[in-house]
Structure 1
């Protein structure tokens, strides 16, 4: 694909010296810049802060697609998303989903029951760090029919990172206030609450801290070996804890585990 430099320059010129644009205008500018370089099917922009529900800043979805990609995602599945965990780890740059995903992500129950609904072949994200521990992630998505981005396309996308980061910092400087306002609207109080919704799930299910740590990683798509390496324990110990959790919850599969987790997040 030939780069449309005229479009790139016009888009950049429109932003210089202007006040911070509205979410829709900033998102549209991002899409114009990207479409001048590569083709994609969807774009979405989320902001993340700690374990709080991500803010939906912009997307190109239809109403039905928005339900799957945004509303359903914000209801709880985001906590198992590799992009969410990279955002919380304050990991800037441009990343493919498969670069960030755990070793068993593509065979995990989260992937089978939620991610496959999106019908995506690939997702690439720009991760831009802002003050107050906030990360804005601008995702480009391709459907299965379109195929993944080629190596050349991904290299080109990465070259746009400085411009995209500048666009984010210019457009979304007030996200700390917006996160706090969203918390207040939901009646969740201060951001530093000792028991965020994700943590309350495990407390309400009477899991120990060690059991909760292991099960969270399992749900994210880590194998027992990967969990052991991350927590500094043996694979056998991980398996014993998993069996104990399943017995404690009266379940026998990861499908049931995910169902309990998501159900309790909504309480």
Structure 2
């Protein structure tokens, strides 16, 4: 059992870290201080802070140091985010403010997608916890905390602590954004390409229904889930999937993903 002295020290540590975050709200070091504070509340291996605004590319608030930004992160920001369950849940309005886990918002077959394989499994991430904050009616911020297999999934006490401190984090992030947003807001004119990417994928080759189903497949929805979403039979979905592979000359979901990225690059060469 933790001693009273140890409990006091732990309490003192998180209070000092919180004070440091408040002191840096107007400074570039805010993200690093926020990461240290959150580390006093739960364990995690990676932390990413991004803003989402409609169909525009996500904006990285942390880490801002290029040396800390991997190729995978650049690929995510430039194109792969279109298939991100978090991005789609926020954009569709199905996920509001608060603390949630990826497992609670991801499509039922998400772990079979190429997106999951490249952005999660390849880096041995077993859990992701997201703190979503609305900055204004058009912009949302997400703090994503990743945990690797060796650390295991988040515990109930850790999740409870995050929920408890969420109002404080929400206030800190909003204050930071209101004072620093002009330093970050440089949204590119890629809205058209990003907004049209999935809806135009396979145009001229696939039927409108097949295009719709291909988009849902890319996002990680199973045939059963697609059938329920579109109110059609499971057999019909399977026929459409077979036709999609035939028309695109593909055999796996990974092949479709590769074609989709090539399509996105054609729409917007800046995503390369």
Give the TM-score taking structure 2 as reference length: 0.82
Give the deviation of 1:170 after TM superposition: 0.7
Give the deviation of 1:66 after TM superposition: 2.0
- Confirm whether residue 164 of structure 1 aligns to residue 169 of structure 2: yes
Give the deviation of 1:149 after TM superposition: 1.3
C-alpha distance in 2 between matches for 1:149 and 1:211: 38
Q: Contact 1:103/1:223 (CA < 8 Å) preserved in 2?
A: yes
Give the deviation of 1:118 after TM superposition: 2.0
Unmatched runs of 5 consecutive residues or more in structure 2: 267-272
Q: Contact 1:48/1:135 (CA < 8 Å) preserved in 2?
A: yes
Match of 2:131 in 1: 126
- Confirm whether residue 30 of structure 1 aligns to residue 34 of structure 2: yes
C-alpha distance in 1 between matches for 2:205 and 2:58: 27
Taking structure 1 as reference, are residues 159 and 209 closer, same or farther at Cα in structure 2, changes over 3 Å only? farther
Match of 1:59 in 2: 63
Match of 2:16 in 1: 10
Give the TM-score taking structure 1 as reference length: 0.83
> Aligned to 2:33, what secondary structure does the other structure show?
helix
Q: Deviations over 1:121-169 (max 9, x none)?
A: 2111101112242211101112222222112212222212111111111
Taking structure 1 as reference, are residues 21 and 89 closer, same or farther at Cα in structure 2, changes over 3 Å only? farther
Taking structure 1 as reference, are residues 61 and 201 closer, same or farther at Cα in structure 2, changes over 3 Å only? farther
Match of 1:72 in 2: 75
Unmatched runs of 5 consecutive residues or more in structure 1: none
Give the deviation of 1:248 after TM superposition: 1.9
Q: Contact 2:61/2:184 (CA < 8 Å) preserved in 1?
A: no
Match of 2:89 in 1: 86
Q: Contact 2:45/2:145 (CA < 8 Å) preserved in 1?
A: yes
C-alpha distance in 2 between matches for 1:61 and 1:123: 22
Q: Contact 1:122/1:142 (CA < 8 Å) preserved in 2?
A: yes
Q: Deviations over 1:22-50 (max 9, x none)?
A: 4x423123212212222221211011122
> Aligned to 2:255, what secondary structure does the other structure show?
helix
Match of 1:155 in 2: 160
Aligned length: 257
Taking structure 1 as reference, are residues 64 and 83 closer, same or farther at Cα in structure 2, changes over 3 Å only? same
Q: CA RMSD in A?
A: 2.9
- Confirm whether residue 43 of structure 1 aligns to residue 47 of structure 2: yes
Q: How does 1:1-267 map to 2 (within 5 A)?
A: 4-14=10-20, 20-22=25-27, 24-59=28-63, 63=67, 66-68=70-72, 70-90=73-93, 91=95, 92-173=97-178, 175=181, 178-179=184-185, 181-184=186-189, 188=190, 191=191, 193=192, 196-199=195-198, 201-202=200-201, 204=203, 206-267=205-266
